[in-house]
Structure 1
Amino acid sequence: MRFLPALIAPLALALSGCATTQTSAPAGTAAAPPVPVMAGAVSAADPRATAAGEAILAQGGSAVDAAIAVMLALTVVEPQSSGIGGGGFMLRADAASGALVSYDGRETAPAAATPTRFLDDAGKVLPRETRVFSGLSVGVPGNLALAAKAHAEHGTLPWEALFQPAIALARDGFVMNQRLYESLKGNKGRADLDMEAKRVFFGPDGEPLPLGTVVRNPDLAESLTDLAQNGPGALYDLNAGSLARWVAERTPRDGTMTEADVRGYTAKERPPVCVRYRVYKVCGMGPPSSGGMAVAQMLVQLERFDLAAMGPDSPQFWHLFIESQRLAYADRELYSGDADYVEVPVAGLVDAGYLASRSALISPDTRLAKVEAGVPPGAPLARGDGPEEPEHGTTHFAVVDAGGNAVSYTSTIEGAFGSGLFFGGFYLNNELTDFTLTPEADGKPVANRVEGGKRPRSSMAPTVVYDADGKIVLVIGAAGGPTIPVTVARAIIGVLDFRMGAQEALAMPFAMAFGDTLLIEEGTALVGMQDALKALGHTGIRVGPAPIKANAVGRRVDGTWEVATEPRLVSVVTP
């Protein structure tokens, strides 16, 4: 995980002005009231998007319908995080049959992209501005294709109906809230890279529009109307321009996006990754996401320990959790990638015997001096690990419909405001910088190297948890780039081991190992555990804000749904 030690401080700094920026919630803020099972539930990062999903459920829409409406609304009100210019992963769980399907809407590299896409003629990594703030970083967007595929299979309302809340928000306007304002201010030079974006979000003085300003985005309203009426294919010609040609004009090197790349994009159904953790079944996303496998590994490696007896206030628990993280992330870096292009030993990575052997490396008494990837069954040999960019322009939303069917959907444009390129009223992703920047390491090919048509590795971890009777008990996911699997695993432990409600579990402290540095969340009980953690070998401790953002829906004992939102996040609609 070579990029993490050097980028832990820049990551926190970047997140201070982007989608995963968190500020402390007011003391005594109450959790959302229970929602009757038959009414369903929606958890999203912005109340306007939550309302969009709830409106669709009120019309008799399915969980998939509502999730699509949320994704579209977030394109309008949370443009720094996700949208139709990016991609995502969705899990859809059927309450009656227990069937679980996962959809891959991850962006793809243009067919002409090569492993040296981010290298100059001398073989050195291009400057960040060149590789990120240009068409070089833009992958073919996949969110609309994912939405169309999921809707065709599990939608109940007409496609056009799902767009109406988002169209109204873009056309009639929405209030500039604190989160968007701070994100725009903290990412000037990226958010205002394109003149059209500057006209929407910035004033004549070059500063973000003031808090409370009603923001209107007529170009996006027009684009969404076109897509609603004509389907995802309208993306090719939004606002009388070709997305592919537009991106190609902004790509400084060979390997540009073509119309064939856009027209040829396919959202794919992937096998979910499921493991048993105690009496529960935990299911997540498989490759090209690494999130599902990492969450599974962290949990199963900890199963031999009595975490419930330790409790969340125990330094012993946090030590064990941190060690499990380190082992899981070592495997992630070496083996994860697009399984259509490289061999990913998914079954081996979550094999019970293999994880028992990895768990045996965890000592309750001391930190492992060195952590290396293991050799799971079916593992390819001679593979390298190279540098990559952290992703942090992401959002998650969870939906349960009246029938108890659930959707866990993580959507992203990678960095805050993606590439900074603005097309048809929305930002285009910079997902291609999620590829490892160099194609080889120590003379060995890297699994996550750039290749034409390939999908970059992701940390996204949409997750569904079932109890021993097969009932859905938790629908969860997170934003925050490499922190995502840790955020999700920690909350799952909170619910399953510590018997917390979903909201309480999201409020648990955050700790994560970034190489030899351990980040512990400021203002939490973890700060007082520093001496105990140091005694266990965790000497490189850094105290700082938790760069995380999670959303979840959990089932209460009485059968009602608890809507849980990130407690570090204040999503202010009015100033």
Structure 2
Amino acid sequence: MKFHIFVFGVLATALWGCGAQDKKIEEVKVLAEKPKQQAMVVTANPHATAAGLEILRAGGSAVDAAIAIESVLSLVEPQSSGLAGGAFMVHYDSATKSLAVYDGRESAPSGATPDMFMLENGDSMPFMQAKTSGLSTGVPGVLAMLSMAHQEQGNLEWGSLFDYATKLASEGFKISPRLHGMLERFGKYIPSTPEEGPTDAYEYFFDQAGVAHPEGYLLKNPEYAKTLSIIAKDPAAFYQGDIAKQIAAMVQQPPRAGSLTAEDIAAYRPVKRMALCQDYRDTQICGAPPPSSWLAVGMIMGILENGPSPTAAGPSDPRNWAILAQAQQLAYADRDQFIADPNFVDMPIKGMLNKEYLASRAKLISNKATPLTYGVGNPWAYNDTPSEVSSGIDATQDVHGTTHFVIVDAEGDVVSMTATVESIFGTTRMVGGMFLNNQLTDFSFQHHDKDGNAIVNAVAANKRPRSSMSPSIVLDKNGDFLLATGSPGGNNIIAYTVKTMVGVFEWGLSPQDAVDLPNMVARGKTVRLEKGATPDAIIMAMKDMGFDVDASRGENSGLSVIMRKPDGTLEGAADKRREGVIGTL
């Protein structure tokens, strides 16, 4: 199965690869034929996978490869992530069997205000107005995060990690089917006149007749190559030099100018955090703490462990899907209510992962849909410290974007990293060949609910918006690496990431079969099932159990997974819903 998926990715890119870079992609296919795998890369783009393998082949670490991969994705997958965006990285050190989380989440500028996304009449600003504006750009964090991780975990020289991306930007890359599809669907939101906003992206992607460049078009980005040459010499130049000034100037352009300044950018600092871990059967499932929403992933798996046992029929049994749906509803309800930037909000983190609390939530799961499963619980009662503050009902909007990749290097170190510019093409504003993020729209546009209670994920100066990004690493009972997973998809990331773990650990599937499962997102009352992938029998059975089912075509995950098998070899899985490719050494 792994070799089949890999060949799919390589053959797809044969139509739109480029020159010497294409040869490196073809090497991925040859290397995949080796029976023993000592290192592996899985990304959502063939060029990114080839870049990561090039670094590993040169003796680079998993972190080294992550830097090369993200610099390439910023160019070839700009609708999803970029160096002017943010990320979370979970890193496993095989020598010490330890985990660390690197937080590169963007932060709001010092001039941000709680009502910056509200209209004069008190309503929320329409999402697309907020997105395609200067208001929505936070201080980019991914490059500072990667620099911090490299100082601690890098093997190769920093400057050498950008060679693949620099060459690709200078010589050009052929527009992939997915990138072209994004331009066809969402190009109408890219400003084409100065009145609508800065037109750099329009001039980059469209010809003089206003037609999007076709699939296979050789797209060059000399401005990005120049930016990379500056970053390769010194990553601090991104935050303290001309690049920062240019980003601030672009953000401050109308319409709907933002307040971000060069001083805000210079003041940004990434954060190294301890990983959160949740016991699950004889494993530990670990991920990023808030402002990441990984807590919901840990909660779902803990609820499942304490809930009804799955039947041997696995994904063929609607009852198993019903159990998973209710576990999601329970966790999403708590996540929406409590999770935000830990520097601004007290959260019942220990309570949310407390075994007794999760067991009490699991008791709400039944044979039919019930409002109890999408109501907020009281994890404060199980927390070390109580709270007398009532949190407001969340008003954060649901958007889809982002990328995810996983790496295991020759030493057994692991990276699971999710990166984003938030929504598709970020703000659509460009600086130095990069798309600026619209990450501040991940805040709640309203700061209080209708009852006057403060919403924890409201906008505040220097605050990091809550993120759905949930890169995950699973350890076995000995503390050894077992599985790495994660996905893009906005709020759906939690459900997509959990699906792979449920498929592997609950239903006994291979990683690829788990990724191929239909996507299901149960946040609130509605249960969304992936149309065309979910058998009609499952959809009808869920409806018969009383679930409010929406068969949606929009469940577009981008899962990347690596699992260590009992004999020590690695097994990868790439999501066919995107352009994922597995590469091995």
TM-score by length of 2: 0.89
C-alpha separation in 1, matches of 2:87 and 2:407: 15
Among 384, 387, 409, the alignment partner of 1:401 is 409
Corresponding position of 1:418: 426
- Per-residue displacement from partner, 1:235-254 (whole Å, max 9, x unpaired)? 4434695322331234736x
Question: Deviation at 1:513?
Answer: 1.9
Corresponding position of 1:111: 110
Q: Which moved more, 1:535-544 or 1:274-283?
A: 535-544
3-state SS, counterpart of residue 371 of structure 2: coil
Is 1:63 aligned with 2:65? no
Corresponding position of 2:338: 335
**1:337-376 → structure 2 map (5 Å cutoff):** 337-363=340-366, 365-370=367-372, 371-376=374-379
Matched residue count? 543
Corresponding position of 1:219: 223
Is the alpha carbon distance of 1:571 and 1:506 closer, same or farther for their aligned partners in structure 2, counting shifts above 3 Å?
A: closer
Among 295, 299, 302, the alignment partner of 1:300 is 302
3-state SS, counterpart of residue 50 of structure 1: helix
Given residue 63 of structure 2, which amino acid in structure 1 is its aligned partner? V
Q: Which moved more, 1:524-533 or 1:414-423?
A: 524-533
Q: Which moved more, 1:331-340 or 1:342-351?
A: 342-351
Q: Is the CA contact (8 Å cut-off) linking 1:35 and 1:561 kept in structure 2?
A: no
Is 1:385 aligned with 2:393? yes
Corresponding position of 2:15: none
**1:27-42 → structure 2 map (5 Å cutoff):** 33=32, 39-42=38-41
C-alpha separation in 1, matches of 2:245 and 2:266: 14
Question: Deviation at 1:347?
Answer: 1.1
Given residue 546 of structure 1, which amino acid in structure 2 is its aligned partner? E
C-alpha separation in 1, matches of 2:484 and 2:214: 35
Given residue 177 of structure 1, which amino acid in structure 2 is its aligned partner? S
Corresponding position of 1:268: 271
Given residue 420 of structure 2, which amino acid in structure 1 is its aligned partner? T
- Per-residue displacement from partner, 1:24-59 (whole Å, max 9, x unpaired)? x89x99x98476776411100000000011000011
Q: Which moved more, 1:45-54 or 1:529-538?
A: 529-538
Q: Is the CA contact (8 Å cut-off) linking 2:333 and 2:523 kept in structure 1?
A: no
Unpaired segments ≥5 residues, structure 1: 1-24
Corresponding position of 1:511: 520
Q: Is the CA contact (8 Å cut-off) linking 1:104 and 1:268 kept in structure 2?
A: yes
Q: Which moved more, 1:379-388 or 1:560-569?
A: 379-388
C-alpha separation in 1, matches of 2:190 and 2:41: 28
Corresponding position of 1:7: none
3-state SS, counterpart of residue 210 of structure 1: coil
Is the alpha carbon distance of 1:293 and 1:333 closer, same or farther for their aligned partners in structure 2, counting shifts above 3 Å?
A: same
Corresponding position of 1:135: 134
C-alpha separation in 1, matches of 2:529 and 2:157: 47
Corresponding position of 1:244: 248
Corresponding position of 1:15: none
Q: Is the CA contact (8 Å cut-off) linking 2:560 and 2:580 kept in structure 1?
A: no
Question: Deviation at 1:308?
Answer: 5.7
3-state SS, counterpart of residue 302 of structure 1: helix
Corresponding position of 1:455: 464
Q: Is the CA contact (8 Å cut-off) linking 1:237 and 1:243 kept in structure 2?
A: no
Given residue 487 of structure 1, which amino acid in structure 2 is its aligned partner? Y
Q: Which moved more, 1:433-442 or 1:559-568?
A: 559-568
Corresponding position of 2:555: 546
3-state SS, counterpart of residue 67 of structure 1: helix
Among 303, 328, 331, the alignment partner of 1:325 is 328
- Per-residue displacement from partner, 1:76-105 (whole Å, max 9, x unpaired)? 100100011100100000112111000110
TM-score by length of 1: 0.90
Among 558, 561, 571, the alignment partner of 2:567 is 558
3-state SS, counterpart of residue 484 of structure 2: strand
Q: Which moved more, 1:558-567 or 1:221-230?
A: 558-567
Given residue 214 of structure 2, which amino acid in structure 1 is its aligned partner? P
Question: Deviation at 1:74?
Answer: 0.1
Given residue 280 of structure 2, which amino acid in structure 1 is its aligned partner? Y
Q: Is the CA contact (8 Å cut-off) linking 1:38 and 1:402 kept in structure 2?
A: no
Given residue 320 of structure 1, which amino acid in structure 2 is its aligned partner? I
- Per-residue displacement from partner, 1:407-449 (whole Å, max 9, x unpaired)? 0000000100001111110100100000001000120000000
Q: Which moved more, 1:207-216 or 1:132-141?
A: 207-216
Is 1:75 aligned with 2:74? yes
Q: Is the CA contact (8 Å cut-off) linking 2:399 and 2:490 kept in structure 1?
A: yes
Is the alpha carbon distance of 1:554 and 1:34 closer, same or farther for their aligned partners in structure 2, counting shifts above 3 Å?
A: farther
Question: Deviation at 1:318?
Answer: 0.2
- Per-residue displacement from partner, 1:245-290 (whole Å, max 9, x unpaired)? 331234736x601121100000001221101111111001110011
Q: Is the CA contact (8 Å cut-off) linking 2:92 and 2:413 kept in structure 1?
A: yes
Corresponding position of 2:3: none
Q: Which moved more, 1:73-82 or 1:491-500?
A: 491-500
3-state SS, counterpart of residue 469 of structure 1: coil
Among 225, 229, 233, the alignment partner of 1:229 is 233
C-alpha separation in 2, matches of 1:482 and 1:198: 28
**1:181-192 → structure 2 map (5 Å cutoff):** 181-191=180-190
Q: Is the CA contact (8 Å cut-off) linking 2:61 and 2:153 kept in structure 1?
A: yes
Q: Is the CA contact (8 Å cut-off) linking 2:238 and 2:244 kept in structure 1?
A: no
Question: Deviation at 1:356?
Answer: 0.8
Is 1:279 aligned with 2:278? no
Given residue 340 of structure 2, which amino acid in structure 1 is its aligned partner? G
Q: Is the CA contact (8 Å cut-off) linking 1:92 and 1:405 kept in structure 2?
A: yes
Q: Which moved more, 1:271-280 or 1:521-530?
A: 521-530
Q: Is the CA contact (8 Å cut-off) linking 2:469 and 2:490 kept in structure 1?
A: yes
Is the alpha carbon distance of 1:486 and 1:129 closer, same or farther for their aligned partners in structure 2, counting shifts above 3 Å?
A: closer
Is the alpha carbon distance of 1:86 and 1:347 closer, same or farther for their aligned partners in structure 2, counting shifts above 3 Å?
A: same
Corresponding position of 2:454: 445
Is the alpha carbon distance of 1:205 and 1:382 closer, same or farther for their aligned partners in structure 2, counting shifts above 3 Å?
A: same
C-alpha separation in 1, matches of 2:224 and 2:550: 45
3-state SS, counterpart of residue 474 of structure 1: strand
- Per-residue displacement from partner, 1:540-572 (whole Å, max 9, x unpaired)? 443535222111111123322122110222469
C-alpha separation in 2, matches of 1:353 and 1:112: 42
Corresponding position of 1:21: none
Q: Is the CA contact (8 Å cut-off) linking 1:313 and 1:525 kept in structure 2?
A: no
Given residue 78 of structure 1, which amino acid in structure 2 is its aligned partner? E
Q: Is the CA contact (8 Å cut-off) linking 1:506 and 1:565 kept in structure 2?
A: yes
Is the alpha carbon distance of 1:571 and 1:215 closer, same or farther for their aligned partners in structure 2, counting shifts above 3 Å?
A: farther
C-alpha separation in 2, matches of 1:422 and 1:543: 32
C-alpha separation in 1, matches of 2:159 and 2:191: 31
Q: Is the CA contact (8 Å cut-off) linking 1:69 and 1:162 kept in structure 2?
A: yes
Is 1:154 aligned with 2:153? yes
**1:492-503 → structure 2 map (5 Å cutoff):** 492-503=501-512
